[in-house]
Structure 1
Amino acid sequence: MKRTLAWMLVTGALLAAVVQALNLRGEDPVTSDPGPTADAQLIARGGYLARVGNCMACHTARGGEPYAGGLGIQTPFGTVYTSNLTPDVKTGLGGWSPSAFWRALHNGRSRDGRLLYPAFPYPNYTHVTRADSDAIFAYLQSLPAVAQPNRPHALRFPYDSTPALAVWRALFFKPGEVETDPRKSADWNRGAYLVQGLGHCNACHASRNALGATSGTLDLSGGLIPMRNWYAPSLTAAHEAGVADWSLPDIVLLMKNGVSAKGTVLGPMAEVVGNSTQHWSDADLLAMATYLKALPADTRPRDLAKVEPPLPDALGARLYKLHCAQCHGDQGEGVAQTYPPLAGNRAVTMDSPANLVRVVLAGGFAPSTAGNPRPYGMPPFAMVFNNEDTAAVVSYIRSAWGNQGKPVSSLDVIQLRNGLQD
């Protein structure tokens, strides 16, 4: 018995040592080096990069001061509250150095050594260069200081414990950087840096395992956004959101204006365009488009079982004619530059009906951008359609006019109604 206990203690100590070593890999010591001179040019560059990373969207509570934190991010494990990034000495980054900020981005560790939760997407930000990190820090230090204490996270056990977070990091996080591929163009390499790093695209456009981890920043195969019930479609699949057959100008227009001849962004992606990508430089938009267009195609087999066309007098058909046809047309043809077509629309026929259900119930609104300042929107029907009605009209849209989307049940609608407050 004593020998067994001794072996258990030794094994536990070795495992703890391995976890500790994995959590410290790639770390440089934190210094008080003031970093590069924070002149106007560096601050302006940092402000642009903060826009690229969409930092303000998460680090600003509703009705709160910009970058002062306090926004609650719901996760399957509880709520994580974002931190104060203003230069307040007591509650923000006023006592931080560029080296400490770099460690937070690159290693996911706070100034005091505390491990950070990956709701802050350091698995992506670890790819940000030190020069870009220093620029962002210089910009944040130039902001007005806001005294707003950071709110403690509200996570369930054991996810609220440091040992559990350390094990997660040991399993799923490794500091790194985006490596330049000499075989690719400068635009492709810049696009890879933006998509995998500051843009943190796969924070949404990837599926997550039971512990909330993706398979890596190269995974853009799509996934349901936890707690929000929006589906971030695959960026590598032609039947979802792949853009291999799009022109570069069409991709750029979608990310700059929120609309293009090929589609319209809604939901969380509308927030990304409104807060971030519409402000990107044309060169960076072209770089991102170049990278996305060149992504390897998703070759996973797809269930293409034949879907029977709906009956013309079915409930869904009647509801569509009464509530939808006046904008989207009797044949789902839509109106160019105004109301998107539903016939042949891959956003309608994706395997996951989540987005279509959410748009029908909560409405669909493209972002207001400089190139599209007064976008058309779709009103919500949550107070008009019950679960059966919603399932019927969505199933009709997914199977009419040659569409081959599978039917949606009332149970599917009930499950997807959660999160409509977002």
Structure 2
Amino acid sequence: MRRLLWALLALLLLAAALVWAWNFWGTPSLDESPPTTPPNSDQVARGAYLARVGNCMLCHTERGGTPYAGGRAIETPFGTVYSSNITPDAATGIGGWSAGYFRRALQEGRSRDGRLLYPAFPYPHMTLVTANDADALFDYLRSLPPANKPNRAHRLRWPYSTQAALAVWRVLYFRPEKFEEDATHTPEWNRGAYLVRGLAHCGACHTARNALGGSSDLTDLSGGLIPMQNWYAPSLSSASEAGTADWPLAEIEQLLSTGIAPRATTSGPMAEVVLNSLQYLEPGDIRAMAVYLKSLPPTPGDTDPLEVRNPTDQVLSRGSKIYKDRCIECHGDRGQGVPNAYPALARNRQVTLPVTANLVQVVLHGGFAPATRRNPKPFGMPPFATQLSDADVAAVLSYVRASWGNRASPVSEFEVAQQRSSARP
């Protein structure tokens, strides 16, 4: 028994040494000196644009707070992570950082002091950002007014709060990479791939995660439930979810830049992305992203149902009555909707998704497309959380999912209750 215990201890020490070596061995030395001259205006403007592409300000700004001064709470299944201050304040921000330290944080997920960063900061995607783009981002951030705001301590459960656990996670799920252009595709396609996979980090939402928050492939865009937000980011390669292989290119561009297109309307987290980021992108970059997304090989949706259950006559009758009372004025008596205003529900693949989270969210809390420059006054849907019971919401959604050519299983009261109880202020 003693020999066995010593053997186990030796194995644990060996594993710990390997994890340490994986994360820290061979780390190149960096220029530790912060820049002493201000960045040029062209570099600042380029960095500001790249920050828009990456939607950096959204996470690094507390609601109502100073831009980029951090403090925003990011809820995860493991606890709360607070975004950091990335203004050029020397005491609490990145004022004492060099460009090399900033590149390392972005591409390797390590802070100035070598501390491993939590992947709520999407460095598994930002690792693809080029050194030139990283330097432009850094120059933009150091051009901002410094904000003296200390970073808040994360509130994570043990052992997720430890650097040791994070080091193990990185061994399992993180590899520093460089973006490599694919010579078999056009420069436009490669630009789109760079933006979608890297700086815009679309896979942060549109890729399924396991219980540890990891994924074996962050580029598959196969869809997944966004942790703690209870929105489902549909597969971008499945024709039954959000794939665009059969869309005209102009419609994909329209959806990305305005939040609304003939076949789809964004809401929830995606509407926020369009509002704060995508609407400001240059037309060439929007087109490049559209070209890349359209080229994704069609795949079966990960959530495609094996069988479809039919709602009972009682549920259909109740749902039909609620639809006529609450929904018909905007969505029409045949679910046809109103072009450029209210989306059609008939043969709408978002209506028939097996994951019903988004439908329940919209009925309970409202559905609102983003207000964009090309669509400044979007139509929205009011919330019904205080007007409809769980049974009412389940019935009307079950009716919609079984009408006008739609064929999907009914929504249960339990699914509605889950969404209602998990709503966050």
Matched, 1:263 2:264: yes
Q: How far is the alpha carbon of 1:192 from its aligned partner?
A: 0.9
- The answer to whether the 8 Å contact 1:229/1:418 transfers is no
Alignment of 1:3-402 (within 5 A): 3-24=3-24, 27-32=27-32, 38-299=39-300, 302-303=304-305, 305=307, 308=310, 311=313, 314-402=317-405
Q: How far is the alpha carbon of 1:20 from its aligned partner?
A: 1.2
Q: How far is the alpha carbon of 1:98 from its aligned partner?
A: 0.6
- The answer to whether the 8 Å contact 1:310/1:399 transfers is no
After TM superposition, the structure 1 stretch with the greater mean CA deviation from structure 2, 13-22 or 168-177, is: 13-22
Residue correspondences, number: 422
Amino acid in structure 2 at the alignment position of 1:316: G
- The answer to whether the 8 Å contact 1:26/1:175 transfers is no
Q: Note closer, same or farther for the CA distance 1:122–1:362 as it changes in structure 2 (3 Å cut).
A: same
Q: How far is the alpha carbon of 1:307 from its aligned partner?
A: 5.3
Matching residue of 1:415: 418
Amino acid in structure 1 at the alignment position of 2:18: V
After TM superposition, the structure 1 stretch with the greater mean CA deviation from structure 2, 2-11 or 405-414, is: 2-11
Q: Note closer, same or farther for the CA distance 1:195–1:26 as it changes in structure 2 (3 Å cut).
A: farther
Q: Note closer, same or farther for the CA distance 1:323–1:310 as it changes in structure 2 (3 Å cut).
A: farther
Amino acid in structure 1 at the alignment position of 2:405: G
Give me the TM-score of the superposition, normalised by structure 1: 0.96
Kindly provide the CA deviation profile for residues 249-274 of structure 1, in whole angstroms up to 9, marking residues without a partner as x: 11011111111112110000000000
Q: Note closer, same or farther for the CA distance 1:390–1:397 as it changes in structure 2 (3 Å cut).
A: same
What is the CA–CA distance in structure 2 between the aligned matches of 1:189 and 1:281, rounded to whole Å? Answer: 16
Q: How far is the alpha carbon of 1:311 from its aligned partner?
A: 4.8
Kindly provide the CA deviation profile for residues 32-83 of structure 1, in whole angstroms up to 9, marking residues without a partner as x: 2557972100010000000000000000011111100000011110000000
Amino acid in structure 1 at the alignment position of 2:153: P
What is the CA–CA distance in structure 2 between the aligned matches of 1:306 and 1:223, rounded to whole Å? Answer: 21
Structure 1 stretches lacking a partner, 5+ long: none
Matched, 1:405 2:411: no
What is the CA–CA distance in structure 2 between the aligned matches of 1:255 and 1:316, rounded to whole Å? Answer: 33
Q: How far is the alpha carbon of 1:305 from its aligned partner?
A: 3.5
- The answer to whether the 8 Å contact 2:34/2:96 transfers is no
What is the CA–CA distance in structure 1 between the aligned matches of 2:92 and 2:301, rounded to whole Å? Answer: 48
Q: How far is the alpha carbon of 1:3 from its aligned partner?
A: 3.4
Q: How far is the alpha carbon of 1:419 from its aligned partner?
A: 4.1
- The answer to whether the 8 Å contact 2:34/2:97 transfers is no
Q: Note closer, same or farther for the CA distance 1:228–1:326 as it changes in structure 2 (3 Å cut).
A: same
Q: Note closer, same or farther for the CA distance 1:306–1:123 as it changes in structure 2 (3 Å cut).
A: closer
Q: Note closer, same or farther for the CA distance 1:10–1:308 as it changes in structure 2 (3 Å cut).
A: closer
After TM superposition, the structure 1 stretch with the greater mean CA deviation from structure 2, 408-417 or 375-384, is: 408-417
- The answer to whether the 8 Å contact 2:61/2:72 transfers is yes
Q: Note closer, same or farther for the CA distance 1:68–1:335 as it changes in structure 2 (3 Å cut).
A: same
Amino acid in structure 2 at the alignment position of 1:118: P
Q: Note closer, same or farther for the CA distance 1:328–1:27 as it changes in structure 2 (3 Å cut).
A: farther
Amino acid in structure 2 at the alignment position of 1:382: A
- The answer to whether the 8 Å contact 2:108/2:176 transfers is yes
- The answer to whether the 8 Å contact 1:178/1:196 transfers is no
- The answer to whether the 8 Å contact 1:309/1:400 transfers is no
- The answer to whether the 8 Å contact 1:228/1:418 transfers is no
Q: Note closer, same or farther for the CA distance 1:51–1:27 as it changes in structure 2 (3 Å cut).
A: farther
What is the CA–CA distance in structure 2 between the aligned matches of 1:305 and 1:164, rounded to whole Å? Answer: 40
Percent identity between matched residues is 55
Q: How far is the alpha carbon of 1:8 from its aligned partner?
A: 2.8
Q: How far is the alpha carbon of 1:299 from its aligned partner?
A: 3.3
Kindly provide the CA deviation profile for residues 134-186 of structure 1, in whole angstroms up to 9, marking residues without a partner as x: 00000000001011100000001111111111111111111002211100111
Secondary structure of the corresponding residue to residue 206 of structure 2: coil
Secondary structure of the corresponding residue to residue 369 of structure 1: coil
- The answer to whether the 8 Å contact 1:363/1:378 transfers is yes
What is the CA–CA distance in structure 2 between the aligned matches of 1:267 and 1:39, rounded to whole Å? Answer: 37
After TM superposition, the structure 1 stretch with the greater mean CA deviation from structure 2, 301-310 or 322-331, is: 301-310
Give me the TM-score of the superposition, normalised by structure 2: 0.96
Structure 2 stretches lacking a partner, 5+ long: none
Q: How far is the alpha carbon of 1:13 from its aligned partner?
A: 2.0
Q: CA RMSD in A?
A: 1.8
Amino acid in structure 2 at the alignment position of 1:167: V
What is the CA–CA distance in structure 2 between the aligned matches of 1:81 and 1:26, rounded to whole Å? Answer: 30
Secondary structure of the corresponding residue to residue 394 of structure 1: helix
After TM superposition, the structure 1 stretch with the greater mean CA deviation from structure 2, 18-27 or 229-238, is: 18-27
